[in-house]
Structure 1
Amino acid sequence: MTADFVLHALKKYNMLEKGGTVVVGLSGGADSVCLTHALWSIKDELDLTLVAAHVNHGIRGGEAQRDEDFCKAFCEKYGIEFKVLKADIPALSRQQGLGEEECGRKVRYEFFSSLAGENGKIATAHNLNDNAETLLFNLTRGTALKGAGGIPPVRDNIIRPLILTPREEIESYCADNSLSFITDSTNLKNEYTRNKIRNIIIPQLKEINSDAVSALAGFCEYAREDSGFLESLADEKYASVVNENVIDEAEFSVLPNSLKRRVAARYLSALTDKDVLSKHIDALIQLAGSNSALETVDGIKLKSKDGRIFIQKDNAEPFSVDIKAESGEYSFLYGRAKVAVYDTKDLQNFNKQLLDNSIDCDKIGKVLKLRSRQEGDKITLAKRGVTKTLKKLFIEDKIPEEKRNSVAVLADGDSVVWVQGYGVSKSFKANAYSNKIMSIIIEEKVSDEHNAK
């Protein structure tokens, strides 16, 4: 039996170009032995640089070392470059808070990627049966169309040249080419979900349809095609619905559900590396138009307000410092306040604009508070002559809610004297007849979101 089945998959899914590097994951099992040998047999035809990579997970004691020794001997026999990584997966999984299976997969692909480099390909030995089993696993656990697509033949630089090949043909290839292989003892234990599907469910399905595996895998291909089409539509809609991590609720709400779910999933996935589940997608869809808040995947807080969904940041921490009615500088949580006091003789050097924004010292006490806003704060702005609460002012000027506590408010007892960005209250405004006046300038701390003013 030749490697034509591998060539067929490589061509159908455009997996490889001639002259490239392929890192093949070699565990020592029938699938990976078959794939490694098949790629070795066609490497000259395709001008491939072939590297076999093996990970000793440190889980099965003597069996793990046996597997490593087998893979090394196999590669020496066929002159294949062999790379091995020894990893203590149980210890790593505890350190990283991951299950051993997930941790092992992460370690394997990181190792494979390090060998493949930027332009190389990673070949894994997933086959037709694996695809059918993955479909059943995903459907049982709960999935949408993307999960119904099973294992993609190509994902980024990862290729699966056996994805069209049933396990029976793989074993026939090994027999025809006198290839020995080893069997992982855990594959025989039905306490693992995948093994239950492989050893119990699939045989039952074959009693209904002897070609059940091919039928299931064929469905996966149709599902991938449909999913790909819908994803391309979602790409177009995403650009019109989402701008700088803000969702336009009007645009979002008119999308068909199939596109709405995809846009929601993409939005959440852009915010975190954690797995985005159906419950997170459903909750985001329900949030639209609700004028409420939501804590979603990875503890991210989202808010629906004024026709938009956006990330709700934690409110700035309130602050309060004493300010004397005399010249000086005062540090506070969000910057520095520069206070300057002038006598009557200095007033001739003040222009009207500066005077209009200064405080009459005769109208205030000797010690003031520079603080965050408080419930009920209000001010009559000298220029506007209208009394408004700070809450209403901040809303009208669209100051983000999470930043409002960082706006400096100068108060004398319960009275608001001056507000950063708005100026002095009419009741405390200096004039040409003032004996002593005070000005205040705020220099904000330089940060990613604030520049010094």
Structure 2
Amino acid sequence: MILKDKVLKYIIENSMVKQGDKVLVALSGGPDSVCLLHILNSLKNELDICIYAAHINHCLRGEEADKDEGYAKELCRKLDIKFYSKAIDINNIANEKGISTELAGREERYKFFNELKDELKLNKIAIAHNLNDQAETIIMRAIRGTGLEGLIGIRPVRENLYIRPILCLSRKEIEFYCGKEDLRPRIDKTNYEDIYARNKIRLKAIPFIEENFNKDIVNTLNRLAYMCNVDNEFIESMVLESYNKYCLEYNKSLIIKKDAFKEKEALLTRVLRKALMNFSGVCNNFEMKHIYDIISFQKGSTGKSINLPNDVKAINSYGDIKLEKNKPNRLKFEDKSITMKINDIISETLDFGLGNAKYSICFEKIKFEKHINFKDNELIKYFDYDKIKNVIIIRKRLDGDKIVPIGMTGTKKIKDIFINLKIPKDKRDEIPIVTFDNKIAWIVGIKVSDEFKINKDTKNLLKISFLRKEF
């Protein structure tokens, strides 16, 4: 079968796109993403889709990274595809967050893709995972002790947004296609260094298995993933049926009836996990140990409670388990920071203090109205509520803090702002810093960030008012 036809069949079988979709291709410049872009572009008329491309320069490989970006841009020019790129210092971000460059890179890529999705009104984001990536993922998860869902590996479609059209192609097929079409993709030499766990599996584990146990291990693992997915879909249908039977949303809480705990362990654990994820709205941080904590706890005395991740509290009520949100603490003046989730805010007033500076802070979610005086005063500011995805933190300044001042595109160090304004050193740690999703939104009384400003598309506002108590 011609590879293009193989991909078309895979796209149709998995309902990846529909007519009129605008599809963003994650384009690194390597063989996988170049093959993906070229095949999708050749199928765009048949599928009736529009193609865009996005490239992240991670600034990790100096001149080589710049050449990757140049190649990707030129390829898109030749194919008449709109191209978007962004340079990000991944090493700096990884150090700031205390995470690996691999994880930091992934987070920044997806962040950029989703920014473009919102800006360009895109329908799908195409990622260039292939059969070999799938095999490597399954081995990695098996080594870590995954369950059935983990053995499904990489899904062809996730969240009806991320699609993987060449997950049906092997790395050899991709290299053959790139050679046949004379695409000459860029090669990242770090892919051939065994510095990451995935690279070690790719370069050592799989070749060893192929040579000593199963020369067709890549396809074998992909068949395993398919079979696991078939079984899991059946199990999930039973989980949904049991969830609807045993779980009841009531007055901002979720009640899991005690009869659920009579079910088989395989079903019960999945129902509990679904309950936790549905109630919290968060898919991560819940582990099997938390599930078994609930099962053990349910057998104990009524009235007892346990705290779980994502601000969830479980209460034993005569054998029923009631999930509630932990109420935010009312902080005292001597506390040094405030952390709140944006979804919890309707109207909230808290006390906050830094050194001799004491404040009452009022948070209000309000509808956008043209008559609002947005230049009220330096201690009252309005922000676009819908641009804030998760967490609000109010704290003192930290070394290396930067802000994108209103009207600017680049960042400016807060230290330099304080120096330019001649703010005494002993007063700088008393000036509150407001951050949204770890980005500085407001140096209170001094500067507001451009990233959360109100524009013509703003629908909801977050109003933050600082009332100075004493100084």
- TM bin, normalised by shorter chain, reads 0.5 to 0.7
The answer as to 2:224 corresponding to 1:219 is yes
The answer as to 2:288 corresponding to 1:278 is yes
- What does residue 363 of structure 1 align with? none
CA-CA distance at 1:299 after TM superposition: 5.8
Contact (CA 8 Å) 1:22, 1:116: kept in 2 or not? no
- What does residue 309 of structure 1 align with? 321
Deviations 1:247-292, CA, capped at 9 Å, x for gaps: 3342221222222111121222232634322222222222222234
CA-CA distance at 1:200 after TM superposition: 0.9
Amino acid at match of 1:140: I
* 1:275-424 alignment, distance < 5 Å: 275-291=285-301, 292-298=304-310, 300-311=312-323, 313=326
User: Residues 306 and 82 (structure 1 numbering): CA distance in 2 closer, same or farther, change over 3 Å?
Assistant: same
Question: Residues of 2 paired with 1:94 and 1:315: CA distance?
Answer: 30
User: Residues 316 and 194 (structure 1 numbering): CA distance in 2 closer, same or farther, change over 3 Å?
Assistant: closer
1:138 to 138, 141, 150: 141
- What does residue 79 of structure 1 align with? 80
The structure with the largest alpha-carbon Rg is 1
Amino acid at match of 1:57: H
The answer as to 2:270 corresponding to 1:254 is no
- What does residue 149 of structure 1 align with? 152
Question: Residues of 2 paired with 1:115 and 1:129: CA distance?
Answer: 28
Question: Residues of 2 paired with 1:289 and 1:152: CA distance?
Answer: 37
- What does residue 209 of structure 1 align with? 214
Question: Residues of 2 paired with 1:88 and 1:9: CA distance?
Answer: 36
Contact (CA 8 Å) 2:255, 2:323: kept in 1 or not? no
Deviations 1:95-114, CA, capped at 9 Å, x for gaps: 45544323322222232233
User: Residues 316 and 121 (structure 1 numbering): CA distance in 2 closer, same or farther, change over 3 Å?
Assistant: closer
Out of 88-97 and 225-234, give the one that drifted further. Answer: 88-97
Give unmatched runs, 5+ long, in structure 1: 318-453
| TM norm structure 2 | 0.63
SS of equivalent residue, structure 2 residue 280: coil
The answer as to 2:117 corresponding to 1:116 is yes
RMSD: 2.4
SS of equivalent residue, structure 1 residue 19: coil
Deviations 1:205-239, CA, capped at 9 Å, x for gaps: 21222211001001101111211221122122212
Amino acid at match of 1:104: G
Out of 92-101 and 7-16, give the one that drifted further. Answer: 92-101
- What does residue 90 of structure 1 align with? 91
- What does residue 362 of structure 2 align with? none
Contact (CA 8 Å) 1:240, 1:251: kept in 2 or not? no
Amino acid at match of 2:153: G
User: Residues 220 and 308 (structure 1 numbering): CA distance in 2 closer, same or farther, change over 3 Å?
Assistant: same
User: Residues 287 and 168 (structure 1 numbering): CA distance in 2 closer, same or farther, change over 3 Å?
Assistant: same
Deviations 1:75-133, CA, capped at 9 Å, x for gaps: 11222211112222233344455443233222222322333345511111100111111
* 1:234-245 alignment, distance < 5 Å: 234-244=239-249, 245=253
Contact (CA 8 Å) 2:28, 2:68: kept in 1 or not? yes
Contact (CA 8 Å) 1:248, 1:307: kept in 2 or not? no
The answer as to 2:183 corresponding to 1:179 is yes
User: Residues 59 and 315 (structure 1 numbering): CA distance in 2 closer, same or farther, change over 3 Å?
Assistant: closer
Question: Residues of 2 paired with 1:126 and 1:314: CA distance?
Answer: 42
Question: Residues of 1 paired with 2:21 and 2:329: CA distance?
Answer: 53
SS of equivalent residue, structure 1 residue 55: strand
SS of equivalent residue, structure 2 residue 93: helix
CA-CA distance at 1:310 after TM superposition: 2.5
The answer as to 2:22 corresponding to 1:5 is no
User: Residues 101 and 281 (structure 1 numbering): CA distance in 2 closer, same or farther, change over 3 Å?
Assistant: farther
1:170 to 165, 169, 174: 174
Question: Residues of 1 paired with 2:122 and 2:237: CA distance?
Answer: 25
- What does residue 232 of structure 1 align with? 237
Count of residue pairs the alignment pairs up: 318
SS of equivalent residue, structure 1 residue 3: helix
CA-CA distance at 1:144 after TM superposition: 1.1
Contact (CA 8 Å) 1:125, 1:160: kept in 2 or not? yes
Question: Residues of 2 paired with 1:267 and 1:95: CA distance?
Answer: 34
CA-CA distance at 1:166 after TM superposition: 0.8
Contact (CA 8 Å) 2:30, 2:187: kept in 1 or not? yes
User: Residues 289 and 26 (structure 1 numbering): CA distance in 2 closer, same or farther, change over 3 Å?
Assistant: same
| TM norm structure 1 | 0.65
Question: Residues of 2 paired with 1:297 and 1:226: CA distance?
Answer: 29
SS of equivalent residue, structure 1 residue 28: coil
Q: State the percentage of identical aligned residues.
A: 37
Question: Residues of 2 paired with 1:287 and 1:60: CA distance?
Answer: 51
Contact (CA 8 Å) 1:52, 1:82: kept in 2 or not? yes
* 1:184-203 alignment, distance < 5 Å: 184-203=188-207
User: Residues 91 and 316 (structure 1 numbering): CA distance in 2 closer, same or farther, change over 3 Å?
Assistant: closer
Amino acid at match of 1:105: R
